Amino acid sequence: MQSGIGHPDGQRRGGRVAYQGAPGSSSHAACLSLRPWDEPVGHRSFQDAMDALRSGACDCALIPVENSTVGEIKPASDLVQRCGFPVVTEVWWPVRFALMGVEGARLSDLRTAESHPVALDQCVASLAQLRLQPVEQYDTGGAAEAVAESGDVTRAAIAPAQAAEVYGLTILKQDVQDRADNRTRFVLLTREGG
């Protein structure tokens, strides 16, 4: 599944890889696992990540373009098609989400669940079952950070489990994605074709 995502000559480069999101997000986790020799550099939007590649601030960009549950991630895939950078490889990455809240929060306290819009779309049935109002944030990791900063026991974040560690949250429910085989296709783009 992960073959081809490394540097073609097998050398560790120690460069910088741009991604959309904050620490603890799915994209951040994918960067750490798939490009462990590179420094992951988070950006607020897909455009910002692409601009970092264009300016030379980053050597490559790892961008999610499709999800097995919700289909094409249109803003990202459109940007990849228009950017002019070569896609040097792609990988399907398993995505699992946890519902997390501040310390002391219980499932019965929760009223809202915050996350990236695409992540919320991957958890529609779970949100309905838990009777939680979805609230869009710019990123899964960013949602966890916002919930942690709020200190509000009625707010939860939907993010990968590692976001709970990053932001000091408590996992209230594991695997809130609607499908067990939920995966996202990431593409790796570079300025230099490798």
Provide the pLDDT for residue 191. Answer: 82
Active site residue 97: no
Q: Is the sign of the CA dihedral 176, 178, 182, 185 positive or negative?
A: negative
The domain 16-95+181-190 having CATH identifier 3.30.9.40: the answer here is no
Which residue in the list 89, 140, 184, 190 is annotated as catalytic? 184
Beta strands in the chain (DSSP E): 16-20, 39-43, 60-67, 71-72, 87-94, 98-101, 112-115, 133-136, 155-159, 170-173, 183-190
* pLDDT value at residue 101: 98
pLDDT of 166: 96
Indicate the pTM of the whole model: 0.87
Domain boundaries, the chain: 16-95+181-190, 98-173
Catalytic, out of 69, 89, 186, 190:
186
Arch. (CATH architecture) of 98-173 = 3-Layer(aba) Sandwich (3.40)
Judge whether 16-95+181-190 and 98-173 match in fold.
yes
Q: Specify whether 186 is catalytic.
A: yes
Q: Which residues in the chain show pLDDT less than 50?
A: 1-4, 8-10, 194
User: Residue 46: what pLDDT?
Assistant: 95
Return the pLDDT at 14: 79
